[in-house]
């Protein structure tokens, strides 16, 4: 059954989770794609879980990252296919990264939400103080292993998928160069500029990718629902566009997905800027209805959620809801509210 069965309607499993039912008591959520067999690729040729290939011709170092969250297996299916097919760069260097392989090792299609991470979110650790501090965890060990590789990357694409219903989109963080890269890729056609999360920096917020005056850059694609074939296709088309755009791949390389037209978006890709990040302050945070990411609320001041007794209202007209999380823990992002910028 699809995750969304109609406007504002969730599948039974997600509806139960959104209503606060314990994950082990909720109806199962169907995994509609096969988990990748990564056993031949876990050793890597550069680092564990990392395959890196250099071309004779000079060019940028491009990294495509999957499994930043261990249960987001769609991106791993893309990289698995590329590795089995023998994809190699035409110029520069191409690195294919299976990030949180420990969490992926726990993935169980019968309980697919349980393996996002082992101890903490790998995508909230990318500030220097955390990376160089004394704290320890499974994910911090992995981040410290991967950091030297990412220090050499010119362009990075982080492949993600979504539990809660949402239109696909890019998250481009704070820099103009990341926004322009996402707009140039053009698939998906929605690009959101944001300031990240209160609870920690993402990989795309890592210092080399955002330093003022720098040239290195990173973007994150949220390609669609977890565990759906359409999400795998969107990821592969997006990543193939990036490799062609940077010149790392031969435009005619038969391994890559055939060039795909971007979804019909009037006037081309759209850029939106987050105007407010709503962080849940209480365990009683709840939306008034199951909003879908990508919905636009026409009127300023519309009540969309309650955080205990605090009302959450749209701060302006034509307010874009970015990735609403229909069950959120205190201290975590519940939704980003954004405004479309002029084309």
pLDDT in tens, the chain (343 residues): 334 333 456 888 888 888 888 777 888 889 999 999 999 999 999 999 999 999 999 999 999 999 999 999 999 999 999 999 999 999 999 999 999 999 999 999 999 999 999 999 999 999 999 999 999 999 999 999 999 999 999 999 999 999 999 999 999 999 999 999 999 999 999 999 999 988 899 999 999 999 999 999 999 999 999 999 999 999 999 999 999 999 999 999 999 988 766 565 666 899 999 999 999 999 999 999 999 999 999 999 999 999 999 999 999 999 999 999 999 999 999 999 999 999 7
What is the model's pTM?
0.94
- Is 71 in a helix, a strand, or coil? coil
**Alpha carbons 181 and 248: distance in angstroms, whole number:** 15
Mind spelling out the 3-state secondary structure of 16-39? HHHCCCCCCCCCCCCCCCCCCCCH
- Is 264 in a helix, a strand, or coil? coil
**Alpha carbons 261 and 279: distance in angstroms, whole number:** 36
Distances from the Cα of 261 to the Cα of 138, 185, 240, angstroms: 40, 11, 12
Burial of 276 (0-12, 13-18, 19+ CB in 10 A): middle
Sheet strand arrangement including 190-193: 50-54, 93-98, 61-66, 155-162, 217-225, 169-173, 190-193, 270-279, 333-340, 319-322, 296-297
Burial of 219 (0-12, 13-18, 19+ CB in 10 A): buried
Pairing of strands 217-225, 155-162: parallel
């Amino acid at each position: 059954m699809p995750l969304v069965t109609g406007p504002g309607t969730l599948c039974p499993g997600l509806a139960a989770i959104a209503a606060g039912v314990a994950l082990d008591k909720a109806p199962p959520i169907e995994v509609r794609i096969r988990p990748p067999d990564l056993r031949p690729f876990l050793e890597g040729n550069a680092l564990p879980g990392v395959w890196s290939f250099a071309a004779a011709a000079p060019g940028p170092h491009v990294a495509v990252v999957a499994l930043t969250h261990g249960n987001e297996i769609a991106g791993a299916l893309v990289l698995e296919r590329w590795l089995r097919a023998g994809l190699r760069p035409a110029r520069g260097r191409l690195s294919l990264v299976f990030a949180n392989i420990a969490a992926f090792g726990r993935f169980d299609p019968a309980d697919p939400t349980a393996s996002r991470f082992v101890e903490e979110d790998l995508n909230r650790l990318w500030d220097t103080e955390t990376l160089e501090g004394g704290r320890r965890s499974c994910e911090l060990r992995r981040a410290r292993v991967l950091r030297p590789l990412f220090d050499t990357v010119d362009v990075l694409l982080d492949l993600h998928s979504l539990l809660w219903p949402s239109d696909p989109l890019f998250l481009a963080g704070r820099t103009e160069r990341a926004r322009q890269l996402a707009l140039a890729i053009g698939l998906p056609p929605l690009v959101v500029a944001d300031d990240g999360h209160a609870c920690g920096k993402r990989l795309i917020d890592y210092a080399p990718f955002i330093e003022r005056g720098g040239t290195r850059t990173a973007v994150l694609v949220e390609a669609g629902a977890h565990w759906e074939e359409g999400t795998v296709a969107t990821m592969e088309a997006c990543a193939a566009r990036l490799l062609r755009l940077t010149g790392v791949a031969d435009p005619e390389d038969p391994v890559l997905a055939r060039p795909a037209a971007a979804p019909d978006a009037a006037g081309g890709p759209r850029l939106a800027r987050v105007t407010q990040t709503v962080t849940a302050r209480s365990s009683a945070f709840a939306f008034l209805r199951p909003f879908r990411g990508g919905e636009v609320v026409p009127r300023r001041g519309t009540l969309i959620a309650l955080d205990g007794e605090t009302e959450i209202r749209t701060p302006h007209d034509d307010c874009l809801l970015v990735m609403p999380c229909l069950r959120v823990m205190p201290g975590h992002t519940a939704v980003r509210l954004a405004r479309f910028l002029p084309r």
